[in-house]
Amino acid sequence: MQEPQGGQHFIIASGRGADRAVAARFNAYHYNQSLTIRRAIGTSTSGQRPVATGPRTDRKARRFMKIVLFGRGGQVGRELEPVLRALGRLIACGRDEADLEQPDTVRDLIRREAPDIVINAAAYTAVDRAESEPERARQINAHTVGIMAGEMARLGGWLVHYSTDYVFDGTKSGSYVETDPTGPLSVYGNTKLAGEQAIMASGCRHLIFRTSWVYATHGSNFVRTMLRLLQEREELSVVDDQVGAPTAAARIAAVTAAAVGRLAGNEQELPPSGVYHLTAGSATSWHGLAEFIAATARAEGLPLRVAPNSIRPIPSSAWPQAAKRPANSRLDTAKLRKTLGVPLPPWQEDARQIVAALIQSGRGD
């Protein structure tokens, strides 16, 4: 079950199916962004990238890098596929090729392909449903992830994995750093934390990217849903006491491409294995994001039914949900920025691009 990186809806409705045309358009924009990032850190931007052969700590003997991507159909996976193809031989897998609910399919694929790098963009992300399906969520987010990690430890390769702000309880007053104590409030958060722990226990070389409030031009997410509701309703109520950084899936993909370039065995120092926080800069509330989407839509000339000042802020208590969310989802990204030297601009930059792209394509819903 490789669902989009969603599950954070605080309004009634779910997004419609993906629009391939607008997704391709925004993919192209962020592919260019990823080239800029990779050039900035001295990584090749054309052709396939060589990596060490034999013992994979030997960087003298080289061959083309082989990458396996799990979760190609999700929000992050769809953005990753085009940027990863420039870095080596890519085997992009959906549920038909490897189902995380059937761990043998994952194990068999890794053993058959013997990749240098596995990138896991697959996850169970239905946050509320996980409360009634804890074993299913744990199988996908933890048990099978542990199997991936064990296989990559055996091969001596790398595992790149995505985690979440939901591993924290949200009670800290400032931004969370990677070493802060965790304390998930939900089944989803617990299973994602268990996945992190399984990776670290395996001994494999790994990069775990914790991110937050993921959205894209495709799939079911807050931005697409809000654009539709702004055109359908005269008033909206949106939660205002949860704060985090809306992060574009394409930005995550661009930074991942920069990291993969580092893992490709060039002369630059490899990033240390560990957890890294990967989000856009700055932060807002869900209500603040909704107001931003509305303002951007108006600037783009999209007729909205909702009037200015008709998006009402409400507390989380007024919108009961099965899973409790952290009030503070802010993640400090200093470690990632220092290690990779990648730009993580304010969240408004990518959000504005995506809203404009959706509207200009005629799919502002």
- The rounded Cα 61 to chain-centroid distance in angstroms is 33
H helix or E strand, kind and range, residue 207: strand 205-211
Residues 338, 339, 341, CA angle at the centre, nearest 5°? Answer: 65
Alpha helices in the chain (DSSP H): 20-40, 75-84, 103-113, 134-138, 144-155, 187-202, 222-232, 249-263, 286-299, 334-340, 347-360
Of 162, 188, 215, 276, the active-site residue reads: 188
| 280 touches 208 (CB < 8 A) | no
Residue partners of 166: CB distance under 8 A and separation at least 6: 127, 184, 185, 186, 188, 189, 192, 325, 326, 329
H helix or E strand, kind and range, residue 312: strand 311-314
**For residue 3, how many C-alpha atoms fall within 13 Å in the half-sphere facing its CB?**
20
What is the C-alpha to C-alpha distance for residues 362 and 339, in angstroms, rounded to an integer? 40
Question: Under DSSP, is residue 284 helix (H, G, I), strand (E, B) or coil?
Answer: strand
Is 176 annotated in the active site? no
What is the C-alpha to C-alpha distance for residues 88 and 166, in angstroms, rounded to an integer? 32
What amino acid positions are annotated as catalytic residues?
188
